[in-house]
Amino acid sequence: MNINTLWTSRVQEFYRKIFGYYSIIGANVIYFLLIISSVFIYYLHLFLQWIPPQIPVEAILSLFITLILLPAKVRTFIKRADIVFLLALEWKLQSYFIRSIVYSFVIDAIKLLSIVIIFISLFLQVATIHLFVLIFIVGIVFYNILMKWTEQWLENHVQYIFHRLIRVFSLYFMCYFALISEWIFGLILMGLCFIFLMYFIGKKRTVNWNWLISEEESALLRNYKFINNFMDVPNLRRSFRNRRLLAMIVKRCIPYSQSSTFLYLYSLLFVRYNDYFYLYLRLTVIGIFVNVVIPTSGWFFTFLIILATGFQILPLQHEIKQSVLLNPISTSQMNKSFLKVILVILYAQFFILYSVRLIHPSTATIYYLAIGILFVYLYVNFFVSKRVNVSRSAIKE
């Protein structure tokens, strides 16, 4: 193992693996993404026209940027076995970790500047975008990465909460001062934050290998979860919660019979797996927001959200463990059970979004209700049904 080329080889290994997935995604959904992007730009324009002048856009944009920066990860490409083989060479890995910090900073800076470009019309309403603004934004990103790096040396949960609060408020106020052109306050705050960081990082400390491994695995999992929305990723670990209240409702609503076995199992999987449950919640909340803000065009977004929800919940069919197949139930019955779960999920989402439209009675008509019910039924039985194949070869071990 060559220490001098280790970082480069790890990055190349990561991109070789991840590029294979993204090339398949790009070849299959490029036209879909172009259509969605066009629709997004159109409705963004409508949203900008809707914003009342008395709303503090600077405060909202500052919060938006802060929320984008908070999930940042320091990518070190460390593997779990490195804690054994590289621990003794830690003193030689200083350049390795500096490269990791710089790499993470560049990736986050590109992401944030891309978002600024996408929402440029919204930013131009409150600030003049020039070179100094962009340099200041890049400085904020670098500060955020360094703050994330210092998390590894926090000793308890209280310190973590205090550190997170400092990070949130400092990011928010730096962004806010930049947008309202109060450069003196912004530069003073940034200077104080960097002085604190230099003091904290300057102390002699050893690297927290467990934290590095946890961060890297979390970043990889985030990539694989995104890819899994378009194609199946083998051996993807799922996080889950019991959600006893929802599980109890599922048990009460589904009859106790052999034919309902997989209906019960798939319902519990959907309720307990965070990936699918939070995806459903996020899309539903987005739909509620759009129906409130743009009621005249909300019906179109409602159908788009139903399409996206049904498509992204499809991988749930392969989450059943192999041991469950000991139940003497036919594959066709398993497929029907999964389709029934999808149908109920999408109908529930549609009725939630339709009920929001009752705030604007002129847009919540029986006409839209009938079309929505028919749309969900046809979508599940003619589109989703062709992509459901709960076979023994597809089920996870």
Tens digit of each residue's pLDDT (9 = 90 or more) over 294-321: 777 677 788 888 988 888 888 788 777 6
Q: Distance between alpha carbon 105 and the CA centroid of its chain, in Å?
A: 19
Alpha-carbon gap, residue 191 to 172, rounded angstroms: 15
**Is residue 137 in some structural domain?**
yes
* pLDDT tens digits, 9-36: 888 888 888 887 777 666 555 555 666 6
Dihedral sign (CA 188, 191, 196, 197)? positive
| Contacts of range 186-189, beta carbons closer than 8 Å, 24 or more positions apart | 186/136
Task: Clarify whether residues 301 and 263 are in a common domain.
Answer: yes
Give me the mean pLDDT over the 112-120 stretch: 79
Task: Clarify whether residues 252 and 206 are in a common domain.
Answer: no
Tokens for 345? 């999920």
Tokens for 353? 């979004």
Task: Clarify whether residues 117 and 216 are in a common domain.
Answer: yes
Q: What is the pLDDT of residue 378?
A: 92
Task: Clarify whether residues 47 and 73 are in a common domain.
Answer: yes
Q: What is the pLDDT of residue 392?
A: 47
Task: Clarify whether residues 341 and 365 are in a common domain.
Answer: yes
Q: What is the pLDDT of residue 238?
A: 67
CB 269 within 8 A of CB 294: no
Question: Model pTM?
Answer: 0.68
**Is residue 234 in some structural domain?**
no
Is 80 exceeded by the pLDDT of residue 245? yes
CB 7 within 8 A of CB 96: yes
**Is residue 221 in some structural domain?**
yes
End-of-domain residue from the set 172, 197, 229 = 229
Task: Clarify whether residues 190 and 272 are in a common domain.
Answer: no
End-of-domain residue from the set 171, 195, 229 = 229
Residue type, 168: V
SS3 call for 240: strand
Q: What is the pLDDT of residue 127?
A: 64
Cα–Cα nearest to 335, from 321, 348, 316, 350? 316
Mean confidence (pLDDT) of the chain: 81
End-of-domain residue from the set 199, 229, 259 = 229
Is 70 exceeded by the pLDDT of residue 58? yes
The better pLDDT of the pair 379, 204 is held by 379
Cα–Cα nearest to 376, from 285, 316, 303, 315? 303
Task: Clarify whether residues 173 and 222 are in a common domain.
Answer: yes
Distances from the Cα of 377 to the Cα of 79, 323, 334, 344, 352, angstroms: 46, 32, 19, 10, 16
Alpha-carbon gap, residue 320 to 388, rounded angstroms: 13
Q: Which residues of 146-182 are buried (b: 16+ CB within 10 A; e: fewer)?
A: bbbbebbbbeeeeeeeebeeebbebbbbbbbbbbbee
Alpha-carbon gap, residue 305 to 299, rounded angstroms: 10
Q: What is the pLDDT of residue 140?
A: 92
Alpha-carbon gap, residue 363 to 356, rounded angstroms: 10
Domain span at 64: 3-229
CB 178 within 8 A of CB 186: yes
**Is residue 238 in some structural domain?**
no
Task: Clarify whether residues 213 and 79 are in a common domain.
Answer: yes
Contact residues for 307 (Cβ-Cβ < 8 A; gap 6+): 379
Alpha-carbon gap, residue 304 to 38, rounded angstroms: 13
* pLDDT tens digits, 197-222: 888 877 767 889 999 999 998 888 88
Task: Clarify whether residues 145 and 27 are in a common domain.
Answer: yes
The better pLDDT of the pair 62, 395 is held by 62
135 CB-contact burial (10 Å; exposed 0-12 / middle 13-18 / buried 19+):
exposed
Contact residues for 82 (Cβ-Cβ < 8 A; gap 6+): 209, 213
**Is residue 235 in some structural domain?**
no
CB 345 within 8 A of CB 306: no
Distances from the Cα of 360 to the Cα of 113, 193, 368, angstroms: 37, 47, 13
Distances from the Cα of 186 to the Cα of 69, 137, 170, angstroms: 17, 11, 10
Task: Clarify whether residues 251 and 129 are in a common domain.
Answer: no
The better pLDDT of the pair 394, 299 is held by 299
What's the domain count of the chain?
2
Cα–Cα nearest to 173, from 34, 66, 310, 27? 66
Q: What is the pLDDT of residue 236?
A: 64
* pLDDT tens digits, 141-160: 999 999 999 999 888 889 89
Is 80 exceeded by the pLDDT of residue 193? yes
Task: State percent of the chain over pLDDT 70.
Answer: 79
Alpha-carbon gap, residue 59 to 46, rounded angstroms: 20
Q: What is the pLDDT of residue 6?
A: 86
Task: Clarify whether residues 225 and 249 are in a common domain.
Answer: no
Q: Which residue has the tokens 């590109």?
A: 110
**Is residue 258 in some structural domain?**
yes
**Is residue 236 in some structural domain?**
no
* pLDDT tens digits, 320-365: 766 565 566 677 788 888 899 999 999 999 999 888 877 776 666 7
The better pLDDT of the pair 225, 136 is held by 136
Q: What is the pLDDT of residue 244?
A: 85
**Is residue 239 in some structural domain?**
no
Residues in the chain: 397
Task: Clarify whether residues 151 and 299 are in a common domain.
Answer: no
The better pLDDT of the pair 229, 8 is held by 8
